[in-house]
A and B are shown apart, each in its own frame.
Chain A
Amino acid sequence: MATTQPPSPNSNDDKPQPVSEAVQQSNQILQGVSPDATKQSVPASVFVNSEPIREDQVSNAVKFLSHPKVKGSPVVYRRSFLERKGLTKEEIDEAFRRVPDPTPSSQPASLNPDTQAKSSSNFQTQAPIQTPQPVAAAPTGIVSVGTVARRQFHWYHAVSAVGLLAASGCGTALLIKKVIIPKLKLWVRKVVLEEENDHAKKIDAKPSLAEEAAAAAKAAAAAAADVAKASQEMLNSKNEERTRFEEFMNLMVAQVQEMKSMSNSIRKLEGQASSSGRTFSDHDDHRVTASSTKQPYANGKVDVNVQPGRSSTPPASAEPPHPKSYIEIMEMIQRGEKPSNIREVNDMPPNPNQQLSNPRIAPRTKPWETQNGPSQVLRSQTSAEGLNQNGQDNGLNYLVDDESSMPWWQRKNVRITEIENEDEAKAGGPYGVRTNEQALVQRSWVPPQPPPVAMPEAAEAIRRPKSAPKETATQEQLADDQTAARPSEVNDELQRITKMSESAGAVEMNGGFPSGNSMAIQEEGNSHEGN
């Protein structure tokens, strides 16, 4: 497997573990574990993972899963990614169990990037400064933003921060206006009232009044100027805030860009000679109906770097050349046209409860089921014998008629057959009964020749007469016993039966012995199938 960079910025150098190391480890562990194999829940099954959980893989997976970007992706993609890295189900489950819960009070042990933590704390200190007055939205906004900041998308809280600032700025401006203006009014009224009183008291104080009025006006002007200045300052500070915030946002955006580029490079590294892009021939995103649902996967969603096999870089040797008409049809469909050769076909069953016809031929045993090794002979022989005791073979009637000429597909590469037959003869064993000639014989069933004496003791045993009914009875019994037997015992049973038939020695030595043998086998197969 290609070595990969883990997505977390806290680069975990031990994650890209060389495969050989893992194999050696697991091999050693396996050897140690083998005596404990019986403790497994599925005993003696080779199709189960018997490796113990590898701690290093699990810890790597935990780091991967703790990454904020990964947390934003669907669970199925996270699992798929880990599976492709070679983790077993148990290891993946363990990693999921260990990943800390996503709450604001999560332990510092959770490996968030330091920059992100810093930025969130920065924001949290900034926000309180902005709102001198407890605007209703602000506290909850801060809290929610604070919790969000640690986990999720940066731009969310950037946007909310900008909104908050604008709101707080407007709020303070309004409030100040509301405070200043009444004060000003009050002050002006006070001045006017004083003026009137003075006026009433001193008539000749008019000029002084006028002076005072002038002075008051001047003061008012000064106050207004002050107010203007204050509001100007407010505006300036707001602008400053805004610019500061712009900078902050830019920083965030830059961070996001960096993250994206990192994930891109990670994915590039992972999918080096990588998998299907959208255009990959078979995987049939060519289906018109399909394309809508599979669109997000196909376009290689940037955020998720755990896409199963859908990276953006097609393999170096490119796609296979599609037939010209294929490309034409694809283009037609992309334009929205439908090819003209499509008909309306009703392929629904006319009678959904239609009974299936009865089978006319009994199932045949497979070539690999009846022997330990491959057999050329078996197919014609046993298939011809079939399980029809009366020897009829409905499906092959036409061939029985045509006994003289061999169907063209029976003629095979003679050389190979001969070599294989030699091997067979040498192999001998309980199934050494298969003769050489039968390999090339025609379709119809011919009683096989007596087998060459591969096992002299068997030949001896055969010559000892035994009663036929007993033999069949025991065979039946054994067949019955087989109904509960596991498939793995079939071969043993077959050998036992063969030995039985050999020792029992059917009455008709020539034709009966091998046919009895194969009958037993057929019954074996039959009863086994009946499970």
Chain B
Amino acid sequence: MPVFKTPFNGYSVRFSPFYESRLAVATAQNFGILGNGRVHVVDLAPTGPVINELVAFDTADGVYDVAWSESHDSVLVAAIADGSIKVYDTALPPQSNPVRSLKEHAREVHGLDYNPTRRDSFLSASWDDSVKLWTLDRPASLRTFREHAYCVYSVAWNPKHADVFASASGDCTVRIWDVREPGSTMIIPGHEHEILSCDWNKYDECLIATASVDKSIKIWDVRNYRVPVSVLNGHGYAVRKIKFSPHRRNLLVSCSYDMTVCLWDFMVEDALVGRYDHHTEFAVGVDLSVLVDGLMASTGWDELVYVWQQGMDPRAS
């Protein structure tokens, strides 16, 4: 399985929704505490287990997250620790990049998500307690959603309802929003600790998973949100990111500060169906490919990006 070494500490990895072999990696120097950042766009070589870098963009501050546009195959957006969002177009020469710098957040932008249904807008989650809605053709945000009492770490569009999204925050709640409504429509006090990540089930639009500092992942049904559908325990430390599989209804992947990437089937009694401990530092980013079933990627503070097929050993060569 191929490995890609980044000069800085990895923060996020995302598969392209257009090209099966393409990924974007967000990295930040000095663990993201203070320093520059870099966005890598890499390609998986078709012949062998090699990852080639297509292009890399340097940033003044660390990059915490990256998201591919769903409408333009060469465009990606990056969440920067100085509060700005940079837009890159890989089809343009590197000197023309970035094509946009959207600076509105007062603090670090920690999460991005592109609308997979409507494909024209994306959300940014920031430590300034707000979520903003943007489109590529406008220099200013369309909406600001300010209700959380603490940092918003993650934001996720509902895969079926183009106007609904969820945000996960350090105030220990997950809020469901509808862009047509002025405020949040639901508040799920999911955990007793900060909630770092949330994601919707792709095949049941009422199921949402939350990952928290309390080392657990909980699956909630919004129709009955007082009690979780399932609680997934098994990580040794805070769970940093989760993602539901785009191909399997009950499968979700998570990465944690215990340096492992885990696969879960939440409908099964013994939910943990896979565990990969290839990272030697915090595993902070994980993604499942929408185009290739079973293909997954992860990155961590050990400055490595792994791409492998589910069921195989990421470190196998």
Specify whether A and B are partners.
yes
Which of A's residues lie within 8 Å of B, judged by CB?
1-2, 19, 22-23, 26-27, 42, 45-49, 76-77, 79-80, 83-86, 88-89, 271-276, 280-284, 286-288, 290, 293, 297, 308-309, 315, 317, 319-320, 323, 325-326, 329-330, 333, 338-339, 341-352, 354, 356-361, 363-364, 366-369, 373-376, 379, 383, 395-396, 398-399, 402, 405, 407-413, 416, 487-488, 528-529, 531
Smallest beta-carbon distance A514→chain B, Å: 20
User: With A320-B237, A345-B36, A398-B46 as given contacts, are A276 and B226 in contact (CB-CB < 8 Å)?
Assistant: no
As a 0/1 sequence over residues 277 to 299 of chain B, the CB contacts with chain A under 8 angstroms (1 = contact) are: 00001100000001111110000
- Chain B interface residue count, Cβ-Cβ cutoff 8 angstroms: 114
Which residues of chain B (67-102) have a CB below 8 Å from chain A? Answer: 70-75, 80-81, 86-87, 89, 91-92, 95-101
Chain A residue nearest to B292 (CB atoms) is A409
Whether A323 contacts B31 by the Cβ 8 Å rule is yes
Cβ-closest chain A residue relative to B196: A282
Shortest CB-to-CB span from A217 to chain B, Å, is: 80
**B window 210-264: CB within 8 A of A:** 213-215, 222-224, 226-227, 236-238, 240, 245-249, 257-258
Question: Given A49-B185, A374-B248, are A290 and B107 also a contact pair (CB < 8 Å)?
Answer: yes
How far is A284 from B193 in the complex, measured between Cα atoms in Å? 15
The residues of A that contact B167 with a CB separation of less than 8 Å are none
Q: Which of B86, B92, B149, B257 has the most CB of A within 10 A?
A: B149
- List the 6 closest A-B pairs by CB distance, nearest first: A80-B149, A413-B311, A308-B171, A357-B91, A320-B237, A320-B257
Chain B interface, >50% SS class:
loop
The interface residues of chain B lying within 8 Å CB-to-CB of A364 are 17-18, 291
A contact residues around B223 at 8 Å (CB): 46
Q: How far is the CA of A379 from the CA of B281 in the complex (A)?
A: 33
- A and B contact pairs by CB, cutoff 8 A, 23 listed: A49-B187, A83-B171, A89-B184, A275-B193, A280-B194, A280-B238, A286-B33, A309-B194, A325-B31, A326-B31, A339-B29, A343-B36, A354-B99, A354-B100, A363-B119, A367-B246, A373-B203, A379-B247, A399-B46, A408-B47, A413-B294, A416-B311, A529-B119
Taking A2-B192, A341-B35 as contacts, is the C-beta distance between A47 and B161 under 8 angstroms? Answer: yes
CB distance from B79 to the nearest CB of A (A): 13
From A47, A283, A333, A395, contact of B18 by CB (8 A): A395
Complex-state Cα separation, A329 to B32, whole angstroms: 10
Question: Is B275 located at the chain interface by the 8 A CB criterion?
Answer: no
Find out whether the CB atom of B73 lies under 8 angstroms from the CB atom of A283: no
- Assembled-state Cα–Cα distance A69/B124 (Å): 35
Given A275-B192, A283-B170, A409-B21, are A45 and B72 also a contact pair (CB < 8 Å)? no
For B227, the chain A residues whose CB sits under 8 A away are 19, 23
Q: In the complex, which residues of chain B have a beta carbon less than 8 angstroms from the beta carbon of A346?
A: 60
Contact A349 B98 (CB under 8 A): yes
A373 and B297 alpha carbons, distance in the complex (Å): 24
Contact A374 B203, beta carbon cutoff 8 Å: yes
Q: Please, which residues of chain A bring their CB within 8 A of the CB of B258?
A: 320
- Contact in complex: A366, B74 (CB < 8 Å): no
Contact B310 A84 (CB under 8 A): no
**Cβ-based interface call for B4 (8 A):** no
* Given A329-B30, A354-B92, A48 contacting B171 (CB threshold 8 A): no
Which positions in B face A, CB cutoff 8 Å?
17-21, 29-36, 44, 46-49, 57-60, 70-75, 80-81, 86-87, 89, 91-92, 95-101, 107-108, 110, 116-119, 127, 136, 139, 149-151, 158-162, 164, 170-173, 176, 178, 181, 183-187, 189, 192-194, 196, 202-203, 206, 213-215, 222-224, 226-227, 236-238, 240, 245-249, 257-258, 281-282, 290-295, 301, 307, 309-312
Q: How far is the CA of A276 from the CA of B196 in the complex (A)?
A: 12
Cross-interface CB contact of B35 among A48, A80, A274, A342, cutoff 8 Å: A342
Q: Are A329 and B33 in contact (CB under 8 A)?
A: yes
- Min CB–CB distance B55 → chain A (angstroms): 14
**Which of A273, A280, A323, A366 gathers the greatest number of chain B CB atoms within 10 Å?**
A366
Q: Which residues of B contact A363 (CB under 8 A)?
A: 17-18, 70-71, 119
Q: Which residue of B lies closest to A78 (CB)?
A: B149
Nearest CB to that of B82 among chain A residues?
A289
Q: Given A46-B222, A275-B192, A276-B193, does the pair A349, B74 have CB atoms closer than 8 Å?
A: no
Q: Is A290 within 8 A of B108, CB to CB?
A: yes
- Chain A min CB distance to B80 (Å): 8
Across-interface contacts of A349 in B (CB, < 8 A): 86-87, 97-101
Contact of B31 among A46, A329, A416 (CB under 8 A): A329
Q: Which of B47, B49, B136, B247 has its CB near the most chain A CB atoms (within 10 A)?
A: B247
B222: A residues at CB distance < 8 A: 46-47
A365 to B30 alpha-carbon distance, docked (Å) = 39
Contact (A288, B44) CB under 8 Å given A359-B72, A360-B73? no
Nearest opposing residue in chain B for A27, CB measure: B224
Interfacial chain B residues near A79, Cβ < 8 Å = 149
7 more A-B residue pairs beyond the given contacts A22-B226, A367-B246, A367-B247, with a C-beta to C-beta distance below 8 A = A274-B193, A287-B32, A345-B60, A347-B58, A351-B96, A364-B291, A396-B20
B19 — which chain A residues lie within 8 A by C-beta? 395-396
Task: Give CA–CA (A6, B152) in the complex, Å.
Answer: 27
Which residues of the other chain, A, contact B295 by a CB distance below 8 angstroms? Answer: 409
Closest to B18 in A: A361
